[in-house]
Structure 1
Amino acid sequence: MWINGTPASLLAASDRAAQFGDGSFTTARVIDGEIQYFSAHIERLKKATQRLMIEGVDWTALSAEITHAAHLRGEGVVKAIISRGVGGRGYSPQGCSTPTRIVSSSDYPAHYHQWRQEGVKLKLSPVALSQNTLFAGIKHLNRLEQVMIRLHLDQTDAHEALVVDTSGILVECCAANIFWRKGYQVFTPELSGSGVAGIMRSHIISLLEQSGIYTISIVQQTPEILREADEVIICNALMPVLPVRQADNGYFTSSQLYDFLHPVC
């Protein structure tokens, strides 16, 4: 792990990442020492810091640190965090002038290989996401909702969660975005109120728009809509795409969309 470019594993207790979850992050897959979708990950961090009004990030240094971590790891995962830094009193960020950069690496989640072969099971989570247009779409450091979703999920035999917002609208999974297919029509949840607009989600939307085969619609629907689907997939930057075999009481055997996406994701 590196903090502001220096090998370290301890973060100042006064850093606003620890005090308030004041920052954002991205998690990237590393193949042959290279970050996959590198520019998209940097752009994601930039959008988040703009939304959170975090200024003064040394993007050149951060890019170099991420690249260095990827080269050392070879195969696996690199995570980059930007905190507003140390300073300020209470909630006020006044006095914070230097954001903190945290870069770490880890092994690739081995279970994703098995899940690609066997497919995954989803179960509706009892934890709903709050709606807030200011934070919707970005990957900020306040992940308590996802922690609680994962805690509940760990008590089941499912691999991932179906997550709704407080109005009951399907948003995403715990750590993935979701798509479903009916014929040649593909759908994914609209994320203006809550959820994370993942890098792989954006990539898949672009692929489908250019496919000449499928249409893609961004919709607001309850989880019951999945009962009408021919196929369901989930995705994130690490998976990157997984077939869903069961979503609550719905079962799926088709892999038409997965077979189309898997070679190009």
Structure 2
Amino acid sequence: MILVDGLVSESLSALDRGLAYGDGVFRTMRAESGKVLHWPRHHRKLEHDCARLGIACPAAPVLSADIGRILRAEPDCVLKIIVTRGQGGRGFAPPMHTEPTRVVASFPLPLPPQDCDEHGVRVRWCSTRLAAQPALAGVKHLNRLENVLARSEWTDPTIAEGIMLDAGGDVVEGTMSNIFILEQGRLITPSLERCGVAGVQRERLIALAERICRGSEVGSVSPPRLLAADQVYLLNSVIGAWWVSALEARTWKRSELTPVLQSALRADDG
């Protein structure tokens, strides 16, 4: 089901700035048994990202009503919320007065890679680099062409994800996931000050780290540092947490922390 401004529809105005310029933001989340996991965190992220672009964020009760309507028909699904600045004419300058467009859509839950909890997933390096733009860093905006190009680099179904670097060669994220590495019992995640998307599961794992391991750190992660890590994790709100078992010639075995981390992230905190 797709709702556009609360109505069942698959159509947007050709003048919508989300279509014309990617002028908007989105969130993707998992619903189980008629409930969106971590919904308060997702709405806070949506509010934050809308504010960064100067877009009025739909109120939580408005979005909750749309979500409730969908979940009554599809209680287990992936939900995607898109908020654009709304309609406008030609030209980059935002109109003085616009009414944001909201889209809430459901999709089937994807099947995870076979036996990924036990055997991990294979990943690859992407040649497409992420450009630095501090004004948009961390924001899940609609301009995702770098990720599209990176994900187009492979068709091998045995490769679950691609790792993206910034223009300076440091690790930032996966094409669809945030990255953590495990070093001597401590979780490290790349800084997103210059580019990348700050996901809800990234936020949660940073908060959980003091309880499940020796804490966390946000910092620079070079490819050699990632390859030397004791474990590598990929996180997003749909997959939860995957552990990496192979990256080119480098292989890993499952760490004792991995099932603890995965279990902690599966718990709903809202």
Long gaps (5+) in structure 1: none
Contact 2:25 2:50 in 1 (8 A): yes
* TM-superposition CA deviations, 1:143-178 (whole Å, max 9, x none): 101100100033685211111001111001000011
* TM-superposition CA deviations, 1:13-58 (whole Å, max 9, x none): 1111111110000001001010000011111110011000113634
After superposition, the Cα gap between the structure-2 partners of 1:36 and 1:113, relative to the gap in structure 1 and judged at 3 Å, is farther
Q: Could you tell me which residue of structure 1 aligns to residue 250 of structure 2?
A: 250
Q: What is the number of equivalent residue pairs in this alignment? A: 264
Q: Structure 2 CA distance, aligned partners of 1:196 and 1:262? A: 21
Paired amino acid for 1:228: A
Contact 1:73 1:106 in 2 (8 A): no
Percent identical among aligned pairs is 30
Paired amino acid for 2:241: V
Q: Could you tell me which residue of structure 2 aligns to residue 37 of structure 1?
A: 38
Q: Could you tell me which residue of structure 2 aligns to residue 85 of structure 1?
A: 86
Contact 1:24 1:83 in 2 (8 A): yes
Q: Structure 2 CA distance, aligned partners of 1:10 and 1:170? A: 37
Q: How does 1:1-265 map to 2 (within 5 A)?
A: 1-55=2-56, 57-112=58-113, 114-154=115-155, 157-211=158-212, 213-265=213-265
Q: Could you tell me which residue of structure 1 aligns to residue 268 of structure 2?
A: none
Paired amino acid for 2:222: T
Contact 1:85 1:96 in 2 (8 A): no
Which structure 1 residue ranges, 4+ long, deviate > 6 Å from structure 2? none
Q: Structure 1 CA distance, aligned partners of 2:163 and 2:136? A: 20
Contact 1:66 1:80 in 2 (8 A): no
After superposition, the Cα gap between the structure-2 partners of 1:157 and 1:52, relative to the gap in structure 1 and judged at 3 Å, is same
TM-score normalised by the chain length of structure 2: 0.92
After superposition, the Cα gap between the structure-2 partners of 1:28 and 1:130, relative to the gap in structure 1 and judged at 3 Å, is same
Secondary structure class of the residue paired with 2:159: coil
* TM-superposition CA deviations, 1:201-252 (whole Å, max 9, x none): 11111110234x3221111121111222111111100110111101232110
RMSD across aligned positions (CA): 1.7
Contact 2:18 2:142 in 1 (8 A): yes
Contact 2:15 2:89 in 1 (8 A): no
Secondary structure class of the residue paired with 1:78: strand
Paired amino acid for 1:227: L
* TM-superposition CA deviations, 1:98-121 (whole Å, max 9, x none): 000001001101135643343111
Deviates more, 1:43-52 or 1:149-158: 149-158
Deviation at 1:8, TM superposition (A): 0.2
Q: Structure 1 CA distance, aligned partners of 2:180 and 2:55? A: 32
Q: Structure 1 CA distance, aligned partners of 2:82 and 2:92? A: 20
Paired amino acid for 1:129: L
Q: Structure 1 CA distance, aligned partners of 2:76 and 2:56? A: 32
After superposition, the Cα gap between the structure-2 partners of 1:156 and 1:65, relative to the gap in structure 1 and judged at 3 Å, is closer
Deviates more, 1:21-30 or 1:79-88: 79-88
Q: Structure 1 CA distance, aligned partners of 2:179 and 2:210? A: 16
Secondary structure class of the residue paired with 2:152: helix
Long gaps (5+) in structure 2: 266-270
Contact 1:230 1:254 in 2 (8 A): no
